[in-house]
Structure 1
Amino acid sequence: MTPRSLTAGLLAGAFALTSCGAPVAPSAAKNSLVIAGYGGSYEEAFKKSVIPEFEKTCACKVTYIAGSSTDTVAKLKAQQASPQIDVALIDDGVQNQAVEAGLLAKLDPKAVTNLPDVIDIARLPGDIGVGFSLNATGLAYNTEYYKKNGLQPPKRLADLADAKLKGKLVMPSITQTYGLGALLMAAKVGGGSESAIDPGFEGVKKVAANAVTFDTTADVSSYFLQGQAVATIWGNSRVQTLAGKGFPIAFVYPEEGALPLIATVNVVNKAPHADLGQKFVNMLLEPSSQKALAEAAFNGPAVKGLTLDPALAAKVVGQARAGQLRKLDWTMINKNRSAWTERWNKEIEIS
Structure 2
Amino acid sequence: MKAIFGTTVLSLSALLSTTAFAQDNSITINSFGGAYETAHRACIITPFEEATGATVNVVTAYSADAFAQLRAQKDAPQFDVIHFSGGQEIVGAAEGLLAPIDPASLSNAADLYDFAGANMAKGEGPAYSIAAIGLVFNTEALSTPPTQWTDLLNPEFGEHLVLTDISNGYGMLGFLMLNQVQGGSLDNIQPGLDAVAKLLDAGAIVVSTSPEIQQEFAQNDAWIAPYASDYAFTLRQAGLPSGFTQGAEGTPASYITTNLVAGRDNTELSLKLIDMSISAEAQECFAEALRYSPTNAKAELSAEVAADVAYGEEGVAGLIRFDPAVIEANRTAWVEQWNKTIAR
TM-score interval, smaller chain: 0.7 to 0.9
Report the counterpart of residue 145 of structure 1 in structure 2. 141
Asked whether the equivalents of residues 35 and 88 of structure 1 are also in contact (C-alpha less than 8 Å), the reply is yes
Using the alignment, how far apart are the partners of 1:264 and 1:218 within structure 2? Answer: 25
Deviation at 1:163? Answer: 4.7
Deviation at 1:272? Answer: 4.8
After TM superposition, list the pairs within 5 Å mapping 1:1-351 onto structure 2.
30-125=24-119, 126=122, 128-146=124-142, 153-209=145-201, 210-216=203-209, 220-227=213-220, 229-319=222-312, 320-347=314-341, 349-350=342-343
Change (3 A) 1:227 1:219: closer
Asked whether the equivalents of residues 31 and 40 of structure 2 are also in contact (C-alpha less than 8 Å), the reply is no
Asked whether the equivalents of residues 121 and 322 of structure 1 are also in contact (C-alpha less than 8 Å), the reply is no
Deviation at 1:217? Answer: 5.0
Asked whether the equivalents of residues 158 and 207 of structure 1 are also in contact (C-alpha less than 8 Å), the reply is no
Q: After superposition, what is the alpha-carbon deviation per residue over 1:231-267, rounded to whole angstroms, capped at 9, x for unaligned?
A: 2111012212322443111212123222122211111
SS in 2 for 1:187: helix
Asked whether the equivalents of residues 195 and 332 of structure 1 are also in contact (C-alpha less than 8 Å), the reply is no
SS in 2 for 1:301: coil
Report the counterpart of residue 13 of structure 1 in structure 2. none
Asked whether the equivalents of residues 93 and 334 of structure 1 are also in contact (C-alpha less than 8 Å), the reply is no
Asked whether the equivalents of residues 186 and 201 of structure 1 are also in contact (C-alpha less than 8 Å), the reply is no
TM-score normalised per structure 2: 0.82
TM-score normalised per structure 1: 0.81
Change (3 A) 1:100 1:167: farther
SS in 2 for 1:145: coil
Deviation at 1:307? Answer: 2.2
SS in 2 for 1:128: coil
Using the alignment, how far apart are the partners of 2:299 and 2:142 within structure 1? Answer: 35
Deviation at 1:67? Answer: 3.0
Using the alignment, how far apart are the partners of 1:155 and 1:292 within structure 2? Answer: 28
Deviation at 1:143? Answer: 2.4
Report the counterpart of residue 18 of structure 1 in structure 2. none
Q: After superposition, what is the alpha-carbon deviation per residue over 1:173-218, rounded to whole angstroms, capped at 9, x for unaligned?
A: 1112222123221222222222333222222322344333331458
Asked whether the equivalents of residues 157 and 254 of structure 1 are also in contact (C-alpha less than 8 Å), the reply is yes
Using the alignment, how far apart are the partners of 1:278 and 1:286 within structure 2? Answer: 12
Deviation at 1:44? Answer: 1.1
Q: 1:58 is matched by which residue type in structure 2?
A: T
Ranges in structure 1 where 5+ consecutive residues have no aligned partner: 1-28
Using the alignment, how far apart are the partners of 2:334 and 2:93 within structure 1? Answer: 22
Asked whether the equivalents of residues 157 and 182 of structure 1 are also in contact (C-alpha less than 8 Å), the reply is no
Using the alignment, how far apart are the partners of 1:45 and 1:115 within structure 2? Answer: 22
Using the alignment, how far apart are the partners of 1:280 and 1:57 within structure 2? Answer: 11
User: Which sits farther off after the overlay, 295-304 or 224-233?
Assistant: 224-233
Asked whether the equivalents of residues 182 and 204 of structure 1 are also in contact (C-alpha less than 8 Å), the reply is no
Percent identity between matched residues is 31
Using the alignment, how far apart are the partners of 1:208 and 1:104 within structure 2? Answer: 43
Deviation at 1:278? Answer: 1.4
Q: 1:340 is matched by which residue type in structure 2?
A: W
Q: 2:92 is matched by which residue type in structure 1?
A: A
Q: 1:297 is matched by which residue type in structure 2?
A: L
Q: 2:277 is matched by which residue type in structure 1?
A: L
Q: After superposition, what is the alpha-carbon deviation per residue over 1:138-187, rounded to whole angstroms, capped at 9, x for unaligned?
A: 1112222346xxxx643333433445544443321111222212322122
SS in 2 for 1:254: coil
Q: 1:259 is matched by which residue type in structure 2?
A: P
Deviation at 1:37? Answer: 1.8
Change (3 A) 1:162 1:73: same
Using the alignment, how far apart are the partners of 1:47 and 1:124 within structure 2? Answer: 26
Using the alignment, how far apart are the partners of 1:128 and 1:343 within structure 2? Answer: 31
